[in-house]
Amino acid sequence: MTKKTVSPSIGILLSLSILHGLNDALQSAVTASYPLIKDDLALSFSQIGLITLTYQIAASVFQPIIGLFYDRHPYVWSLPTGSCFTLIGFISLAFATTLHWTMCSVFMVGIGSSTLHPEASRLTSIASGGKRGLAQSLFQVGGNLGGSVGPLLVAFLAAPYGRTYISFFSILSVIAIIVAIPVCRWYKNRLQLLQQENTTMKVRTESPLPVKTVIFSISILLVLIFSKYVYVASLSSYYTFYLIEKFNIDIQDSQIYLFVFLAATAIGTLVGGPVGDKIGRKYVIWASILGAAPFTLLMPHVNLFWTVAMSFLIGLIISSAFPAILLYAQELLPYKLGLVSGLFFGFAFGIAGIASAILGKMADLHGIETVYRLCAYMPLLGIITWFLPNLKKN
């Protein structure tokens, strides 16, 4: 039987990218609000680390579970359900008056993110029409663009007026629910079509490599995620504090400089997937993680201008790794797209959360600059990419 060629569903891919952007704008707004929360509630860096840990646990531990569940039991309305959790959590966060209330609020936001990432990533693969690198990069760049907007929302709409103003950001969750409705209808029709063709979302495709090699490769990819996200956690959670302490700038300026880094990650993400389609994902992973090392090692030792410039280059280079890593893993286990997406998104968030807690404690004990000097060495772990098999040949 001749295999039919399927074109990418561009409208659905754009909607999923927008949903990712709206979700990640709110996620980054949470971390960008840390200086406001710290001042309002008189918290230490260690307590900020606990807040981040709580959020990342909710946004990581549940991701592979949710991904595996939806692999087996597709649910059409999963995306707006996740946005409802984010909506409730964000309103609660704006008015939280205690550490525990704040932790519960970010936990709700984390559950929303934990629902969106594996499910939207799986739908991206379904809608890709075989152009998975392009589709995944489009999906990821939406998240990165949204993530870069979060600090600006805080800088211009909340920082000048007070923390309660972040409650207005929950409007983005309402927009996300509206955007998700056409995606849900498309997904429902897609499921019905698959049932009519006597197929399911659990069609098994053989892995291109032996089981032991798959396990070994997945382990290497997780180490690479570890190296990337420990460093990214130092920037996303503490970069504003670092700039304020070292260069004596105000909160609003620090948020703008954080935007520079996050905007660079959006640009880099758009490149990683399509380039990986052409030259092989292994080479993209190699260049993006190890290639960032010279700049991470230099950044703690330069002035404000070069710090911002280095952060831009680091974001540009290192951000191309994740779509390449995720697609590489999906190609290793093509019959468990939701599980793989949840595992890697979840592990990334979990590592970021644990790292934030540890780095917060380290900042309290030894100073924020020490954190950046130590984390600068993490991208050197990218050298283990050498041991990954080249799937492009397969």
Report residue 77 as tokens.
């309305």
Q: How far is CA 221 from the centre of its chain?
A: 16
C-alpha distance across the termini of the chain, in Å: 23
Residue 226: C-alpha distances to residues 45, 297, 331, 381 (Å): 22, 18, 20, 9
Give the pLDDT score at 2. Answer: 41
Give the pLDDT score at 260. Answer: 87
Residue 234: C-alpha distances to residues 3, 249, 354 (Å): 47, 18, 11
Return the domain boundaries, the chain: 10-387
pLDDT in tens, 4-61: 445 668 889 999 999 999 998 888 888 788 888 888 888 887 888 788 788 878 877 7
Q: How far is CA 133 from the centre of its chain?
A: 17
Examine the pLDDT at 312 and tell me if it is beyond 90.
Answer: yes
User: DSSP alpha helices (H): ranges in the chain?
Assistant: 10-32, 34-41, 45-60, 62-72, 78-95, 99-127, 132-153, 171-196, 211-247, 251-279, 281-290, 293-298, 304-318, 321-332, 337-366, 368-375
Which one has a higher pLDDT value, 252 or 348?
252
Out of 206-215, 275-284, 352-361, 382-391, give the one with best mean pLDDT: 382-391
CATH number assigned to the domain covering 10-387: 1.20.1250.20
Examine the pLDDT at 202 and tell me if it is beyond 50.
Answer: no
Whether the Cβ atoms of residue 151 and residue 257 lie closer than 8 Å to each other: no
Examine the pLDDT at 203 and tell me if it is beyond 60.
Answer: no
Give the pLDDT score at 1. Answer: 40
Examine the pLDDT at 337 and tell me if it is beyond 60.
Answer: yes
Q: Name the 3-class secondary structure at 294.
A: helix
> Global pTM?
0.69
